[in-house]
Chain A
């Protein structure tokens, strides 16, 4: 068949941008936040409150009190972990929506191992907890990853559905064999003291999990930017066919990225059990796994971006709770802000890649 134009054009189509300039890459997230708050303001006004009061309470007040400042760090911990969990997978072009389930798998492992570690040294106990959690998270991620790599089964569907399976499994365990025999509450036996994560800031709930999260964020950056595997992951995510052509083992790369993603989400589960509660309960994750998708996307799948995004969302989380208490607006406001932020971010990201152009009649077929 004759080709109309050269198969590979010398120039990009005029609606496609080259590499986005630095100011645009900085501006777009800010634009997303601004649009999000305009939409949120309308919703707040509709619920009868003054949007400016609510925003002040949500974004400024948390910084004025030591407790809420530190609570932001507590909330930041799981968000950083699920954020980079999702980012790793997305970078390989594997859309893992299952961080929530993988987090619970890690939490379950922690709740299972934790009570048996009485008498262990703290270092050894914590190491065992972490290894257990990341193994469980990876194991829960294994099946969808294998299905994707060997049978091309869409991972979005499988990972998402496995979340429900995991939640039912946890519910079953907590209401069955693990139910607290003393109180009758649906919660697992308390883990050994040695297995509890130590505080890292005195008189606060900020725990060792926060340090783990920061280390993993740094590691995430290093692996992607500086290692052979990181380059392979990026090449697979950005162009799987070309990566395969150049000799990258695409299946292996996707499989490993998916498992690492599950493992990091599993660590988030351990961190919540061993750092906060000391046992497993059903609502241990208020959908941190899904929020991780927002964090990763808003953070542009970059280590620094994920950190900023997670911090912002942690602030909104804490702030909306305070705002709900003091101003009587619905506590769901924080969730609404996050959800709107994801949608707006996705829309705004397109502006980074494309520029608005007027359509010509001759292009309508394209």
Chain B
């Protein structure tokens, strides 16, 4: 895909590009590592080295293979092909215990700490040594480790009462106390405040100075530049490029990460079948001008259907998950939201689907405030809702027929009594129309992901909603089902509905959207018309760079 990126594929014997010249043997090295899940190849022929005394940043979009790589290094998965060597010895870890014994430590976003225990107790848990708990001795040994690596923790504090940043330090301390030589941090800053992040980076620098190897997984370019000596970019399970951080520019890394050129952006206008009418931006515009269905409802500034104003959501600690987000959506417009997972788009969807109340701001539909209304009211007002997790939209243990009826139960009820015949007729109709491969009496749980999504689509879109919010509508679907979902969403747009597409698949967003909103850190950092989409710019915005540029 990007031959110029210097990907070392095909040269498994040679050291990957960007390795420090004349460096000693790497602490960990991967050669030709491949991992498949069914038909999906999560990692393909990956070569990678990590040296003692360096911080390696692993950069990549969602699904690029970063976490799979981590899990192989930590013994949670086994590679299907290829070799992993740790400290010169072949390492086929069968469990995390093997990995820990070989000096690999992992800190994930989800801490494995016991909240009601103290720092010392958490650190020594599982390796107390002997039947009797010698508190003084254990505390001394934990403190010694903490001091050696310059980690500031209160040994007797209860984890429950600690800040997230402090809890993370305990996690790191736990790994260090087990003599780890390679510390892997999976998106460590995702849960941290900027101050805590800075402190973490200082800690990591300390660890590096002590001769540890560190892998930090991230999708934030600023962090890569700040903390790493070397950076490897993963894309689609392959190493797209490897650089010394000092030699790399943010723009180059963003391009490697996203891996496509602006000219390739396509958008389809649906006229007929799935396979028809794939056009470039320019062609689409002209097709519209020639009388494509959407033309009648061409958006103008005065006809906003959905108005989102200063929408904010804070969690219990007061952290802003969504920060003053405002935008408009017009009838006949499909707007995509591009963001890396965890940047507020889930919260936005949750509010728009009526599952969460915003802490401030409002959502208006046709001039009427709808934020905070329960799901039932939203459905009645013409909001079509396709949630991130499709199991949030169906009860797996109920039948297809029941799931198709539940959202509009009033329509299938006469005086509290279920209209069985009506339900059956509706189910038959929707199953035929949406080509669901299921019987009306099948439990939804037993269907494939694609068919479950079709049920959600059928139930939602058959009601001709005015506004459709579709979150990750094709996640986990095969190519055919994905195309089907895309076609249905574009049909809604062409019918005159306003469609908001939230997806971690940037390709999908760019291909379908008339406009792209970019979110980062809970804020809207970009609002770009499809006609002047610049992928590199979107990549930078998603990685948190555009916001800074805009302010300075």
* Chain A residues bordering chain B, tally (CB within 8 A): 38
CA distance A239 to B445 in the complex (A): 11
Tell whether B148 is near chain A: CB-to-CB under 8 Å.
no
| B395/A239 in contact, CB under 8 A | yes
Contact of B78 among A8, A235, A361 (CB under 8 A): A361
Q: CA separation between A9 and B396, bound complex, in Å?
A: 13
Bound Cα distance A365, B70 (Å): 13
Residue A173 at the chain B interface, CB threshold 8 Å: no
With beta carbons under 8 angstroms apart, the residue of B398, B452, B478 that contacts A235 is B398
Contact A245 to B96, CB < 8 A, known contacts A6-B449, A227-B417, A228-B413: no
Give the nearest-CB partner of A238 in chain B: B397
Q: Is A53 an interface residue (CB 8 A)?
A: no
B73-127 contacts to A, CB under 8 A, are 76-78, 94-96, 109
Most interface-central of B94, B375, B477 (chain A CB within 10 A): B375
In the bound complex, how far is the Cα of B445 from the Cα of A18, in angstroms?
8
B237 CB to closest chain A CB (Å) equals 10
Known: A1-B342, A8-B475, A244-B355. A228 touches B95 (CB 8 A): no
Query: Is there a chain B Cβ closer than 8 Å to A247's Cβ?
Result: yes
Residues of A within 8 A of B413 (CB): 228
- Within the complex, which residue of B190, B353, B409 is in contact with A231, where a contact is CB–CB below 8 Å? B409
B395 touching A1, Cβ below 8 Å:
no
Nearest-neighbour CB distance to chain A for B373, whole angstroms, equals 11
- A230 nearest CB neighbor, chain B only: B418
Residue contact A239 to B396, C-beta cutoff 8 Å: yes
A241 at the interface (CB under 8 A from B): yes
- What is the 8 Å Cβ interface bit string for chain B, positions 15-58, against chain A (1 contact, 0 not)? 00000000000000000000001001010000000000000000
Do A242 and B394 touch across chains, with their CB atoms under 8 A apart? Answer: yes
CA distance A248 to B374 in the complex (A): 9
Q: Are B445 and A228 in contact (CB under 8 A)?
A: no
Taking a contact as CB atoms under 8 Å apart, the answer to whether A8 and B387 are in contact is: no
- B190 / chain A contacts, CB cutoff of 8 Å: 1
Asked if B445 and A246 sit within 8 Å, CB to CB, the answer is: no
Name A1's contact: one of B37, B67, B412 (CB within 8 Å): B67
- Kindly identify which residue among B67, B391, B449 contacts A3, using a CB–CB cutoff of 8 Å: B67
Expressed in whole angstroms, the Cα–Cα distance for A229 and B406 within the complex equals: 11
In the complex, the answer to whether B452 meets A246 with C-beta atoms within 8 Å is no
Chain A: which residue is nearest B67 at the CB level? A2
Contacts of A362 in B (CB 8 A): 76-78
**B273 CB–A CB distance under 8 Å:** no
Contact residues in A for B60 (Cβ distance below 8 Å):
2
Given contacts A9-B449, A239-B396, A247-B409, contact A2 B389 (CB under 8 A): no
Contact B443 A9 (CB under 8 A): no
Which of B415-429 touch A at CB < 8 Å? 416-418, 420
Q: Closest B residue to A364 by CB, please name it.
A: B95
**A245→B392 contact, CB < 8 A:** yes
Are B341 and A1 in contact, with the CB atoms below 8 A? yes
Residues of chain B contacted by A5 (CB below 8 angstroms): 37, 40, 42, 476
CB nearest to B414 among chain A residues:
A228
Which residues of chain B come closer than 8 Å to A358, judged between CB atoms?
none
Q: Does A121 contact B (CB under 8 A)?
A: no
Distance between Cα atoms of A262 and B78 in the complex (Å): 53
- Within 8 Å CB of A238, what residues of B? 395-398
Given contacts A6-B476, A12-B446, contact A226 B395 (CB under 8 A): no
Which residues 312-366 of A sit at the B interface, judged by CB distance below 8 A?
361-362, 364-365
Complex: A364 Cα to B452 Cα, angstroms: 28
Quick one: given A19-B443, A228-B418, are A245 and B397 in contact (CB under 8 Å)?
A: no
CB distance from A326 to the nearest CB of B (A): 46
Give Cα A19–Cα B379 distance, bound, in whole angstroms. Answer: 31
Indicate if A203 sits at the interface (CB-CB under 8 A): no
Name B379's closest neighbour in chain A (CB-CB).
A247
Residue pair A2, B66 in contact (C-beta under 8 Å): yes
Contact residues in A for B187 (Cβ distance below 8 Å): 1
- Residue A182 is within 8 A (CB to CB) of chain B in the complex: no
* Interface hub of A6, A9, A230, A248 (most chain B Cβ within 10 A): A6
Q: Does B448 contact A (CB under 8 A)?
A: yes
| A247→B407 contact, CB < 8 A | yes
The reply to whether the CB of A116 lies closer than 8 angstroms to some CB of chain B is: no
Contact with B along A232-262 (1 / 0, CB 8 A): 1011001101111111110000000000000
Across-interface contacts of A242 in B (CB, < 8 A): 391-396
Assembly CA distance A9 to B389 (angstroms): 11
- Interface presence of B345 (CB below 8 A): no
B63 to A245, Cβ gap below 8 A? no
Q: A151 within 8 Å of B by Cβ? A: no
The one of A228, A229, A243 that contacts B395, using a Cβ cutoff of 8 Å? A243
Q: Chain A: which residue is nearest B93 at the CB level?
A: A361
Query: What would be 12 A-B contacts, judged by CB atoms less than 8 Å apart?
Result: A2-B63, A2-B65, A9-B476, A10-B478, A226-B418, A226-B420, A231-B398, A232-B409, A242-B393, A361-B78, A362-B78, A365-B96
What would 12 more interface pairs be, CB under 8 Å, given A4-B71, A8-B449?
A1-B342, A2-B62, A6-B476, A7-B389, A10-B448, A10-B478, A226-B417, A230-B418, A234-B402, A247-B407, A365-B76, A365-B95
Q: Which 5 A-B pairs have the closest CB atoms?
A: A6-B476, A247-B376, A239-B395, A238-B397, A10-B448
